[in-house]
Structure 1
Amino acid sequence: MPRLQVTRCSKEENSKPAASRSKSSPPSSGGSPPSSLAFPSNNLSPDGNRSLSSSGLQRTSLSGGVQNATLRCDLPSPAVAVRNLVEQAQHAHLCTLMSAMHHRRAGYPFGTVVEFAADGAGHPLFSLSPLAIHTRNIREDARCSLVLQLPGWTGLANARVTIFGDVYPLPSDMQEAAREIFHQKHASHAGDPAKKSSRWLSGNAQYFRMHHLRDIYFVGGFGTVQWVDAGEYAAATPDAIVLHGPTAVLRVLNERFAGALRGLFGARGGGADDAVVISIDKLGADVRVRRAGQHAVERLVFDQEVVTLEDAIDIMQRLTAHVEA
């Protein structure tokens, strides 16, 4: 029989939240953009497609510190969780510093919502109009922060991350590669690869990259706060299950197992009005459960690692086989 473990990681647990700061010092800052902005070697496959695609980790109300929560709930490490989150998120809040040259309120933070993708090393890429305020800000001061959360945000108990770094325009010979990365990510989320040839072709937008990652602040829910060293983030690899059409993976799982999941989590007591898989990683799935108008995120732990959609379907079938929808 497969091992079934449904773990509720909730803010009602009575352990104190803990925050830890990596002892590693942040990368040294530079006053000017590097002369070369070469993508990492694992960024593009031989046919020119990006070797990494998209997904992430979302969980709520984890108490006792991120390390304890990671062990208790069979979660990815914080660095991997952030890589997964970056791959899953479709939009982000880009925060720049208002430029004295172009704007009033010089020196104040300026936030705006942008589409983004990430290269093979997890560095965010942006398609920005030269007329946009944030683009003009970046050209005057490269320092930025990027705030990301997964689609389906339901409150402060959901995972989010803030990435601090320096953003520079990519050289002309790398603009096409960046556009292809955008196509791959957003066509995958839209579920329509045919749109790859038509998006981001018009206008005079230019591609930028957060080249220097200075620091990363990860919040996995109430009580799960972790500074992730940029070097640890760069060394981490997203789970394979999140790299190829993660939106389609979640859609298939929810279409096939909605009733079974509702029965599985409802059996814990109090019933369940709804149960939706909101993220998946190689160790398990996070399921948003609604009971009497209240939402909580609960962990469904797998009895083996999953790599592909087929693996996920197989294990979900086994874990819910005894449940009546």
Structure 2
Amino acid sequence: MTDHDQQAAAARQVLAGSFHGVLSTHSLELAGYPFGSVVPYVLDQEGLPLLLLSPLSQHTKNLEADSRCGLTVVEEGEGDVQQRGRLSAVGKVTPCGADADGERYFCAFPHSRLYVEQLDFRFYRFTPLRFHWNGGFATARWFGNDRILRANPLSPEAQRRIIAHMNQDHRDTLRGYLRTIDATAGEEEVAMIGIDAEGIDVRVADRLRRIPLLRPIGSPVEAREVLVEMATQPGGD
């Protein structure tokens, strides 16, 4: 794998595993100036960030007037933020239907279902034009969508089956997966909330974590093979 490929892969994991970012819109109040807001998101079936926005928020009002915006996400970690990966994208945010993607969002953020039912929040999709990645010294570069966006190869139903099976029968295994990225992880409750071509997403207490797969998958059969293999890795129990 070339350095370019490695950097693109790292950028994809940051996009998939950040779960929130800074959305920069065009200010209505101060024309010509950017307006930044922290917003949660998940990746939809096509690998695009899915947002749930209030009609009363300033960023939503800004987007209704001008859908052009930027989204910046930062790799999880401690210490100097400039030593962590940072991914910025420019594109547009537009309203969308959700369906299965909406359920994915609610799985990540359970409290948000009430926002839709009682507060008239709506789903929006961020469609990027290009990405800019900075993973550390001498790594800054632009990437096209083809290098960063990855559609989920598993159908929503296949995802639900895998998630239900892991949560029902393999809680200890999920804790083992968590220890591969966090050696300090204890016996806290871990629940799987998502799986895609390159990683699984879990909830640990009130925190969302991303666990990369050993290799990309393209089918439920490959998902099972990789998950079993990961369970035999050091720290994977």
In the superposition, the TM-score normalised over structure 1's length comes to: 0.49
Q: 1:250 to 1:89 in 2, by over 3 A?
A: farther
Residue number in structure 2 paired with 1:158: 84
**Which amino acid is the alignment partner of residue 84 of structure 2?**
N
Q: 1:250 to 1:207 in 2, by over 3 A?
A: farther
Q: Does the 8 Å contact 1:83/1:122 carry over to 2?
A: no
Q: What percentage of aligned pairs have identical amino acids? A: 25
Of 147, 152, 156, 2:72 maps to 147
Q: Does the 8 Å contact 1:80/1:236 carry over to 2?
A: no
Q: Does 1:312 align with 2:235?
A: no
Residue number in structure 1 paired with 2:94: 168
> Could you tell which deviates more after superposition, 147-156 or 215-224?
147-156
Q: Residues 143-166 of structure 1, C-alpha deviation per residue, up to 9 Å, x if partnerless?
A: 111011233353211112001111
In the aligned structure 1, how far is the partner of 2:63 from the partner of 2:112?
Answer: 28
In the aligned structure 2, how far is the partner of 1:122 from the partner of 1:222?
Answer: 27
Q: Does the 8 Å contact 1:159/1:221 carry over to 2?
A: yes
SS in 2 for 1:224: coil
Q: Which ranges of 4 or more aligned residues in structure 1 deviate by more than 4 Å? A: 195-200, 235-238, 248-251, 254-259
Residue number in structure 2 paired with 1:92: 21
Q: 1:255 to 1:315 in 2, by over 3 A?
A: closer
Residue number in structure 2 paired with 1:119: 44
Q: Does the 8 Å contact 2:179/2:235 carry over to 1?
A: no
Return 5+ residue gaps in structure 1 as ranges.
Answer: 1-65, 71-75, 188-194, 260-277, 285-305, 319-325
Superposition pairs for residues 132-143 of structure 1, below 5 Å? 132-143=57-68
In the aligned structure 2, how far is the partner of 1:316 from the partner of 1:81?
Answer: 22
Q: Does 1:81 align with 2:6?
A: no
Q: Residues 204-232 of structure 1, C-alpha deviation per residue, up to 9 Å, x if partnerless?
A: 11111113x21101111222112111133
Q: 1:80 to 1:200 in 2, by over 3 A?
A: farther
SS in 2 for 1:315: coil
In the aligned structure 2, how far is the partner of 1:117 from the partner of 1:139?
Answer: 21
Aligned residues: CA RMSD: 3.6
SS in 1 for 2:61: helix
**Which amino acid is the alignment partner of residue 205 of structure 1?**
F
Q: Does the 8 Å contact 1:90/1:150 carry over to 2?
A: no
In the superposition, the TM-score normalised over structure 2's length comes to: 0.64
Q: Residues 170-212 of structure 1, C-alpha deviation per residue, up to 9 Å, x if partnerless?
A: 1xxx24444212123345xxxxxxx68667543111111113x
Q: 1:315 to 1:179 in 2, by over 3 A?
A: same
SS in 2 for 1:152: coil
In the aligned structure 1, how far is the partner of 2:132 from the partner of 2:126?
Answer: 16
Q: 1:133 to 1:162 in 2, by over 3 A?
A: same
More helix by share: 2
Tell me the CA shift for residue 113 of structure 1. Answer: 0.4
Q: 1:150 to 1:185 in 2, by over 3 A?
A: farther
Residue number in structure 1 paired with 2:205: none
In the aligned structure 2, how far is the partner of 1:164 from the partner of 1:94?
Answer: 10
Q: How many residues align?
A: 187
Q: Does the 8 Å contact 2:131/2:143 carry over to 1?
A: yes
SS in 2 for 1:130: coil
Return 5+ residue gaps in structure 2 as ranges.
Answer: 154-161, 167-173, 186-208, 216-224
Q: 1:237 to 1:81 in 2, by over 3 A?
A: farther
In the aligned structure 2, how far is the partner of 1:218 from the partner of 1:316?
Answer: 31
Q: 1:176 to 1:251 in 2, by over 3 A?
A: same
SS in 2 for 1:156: helix
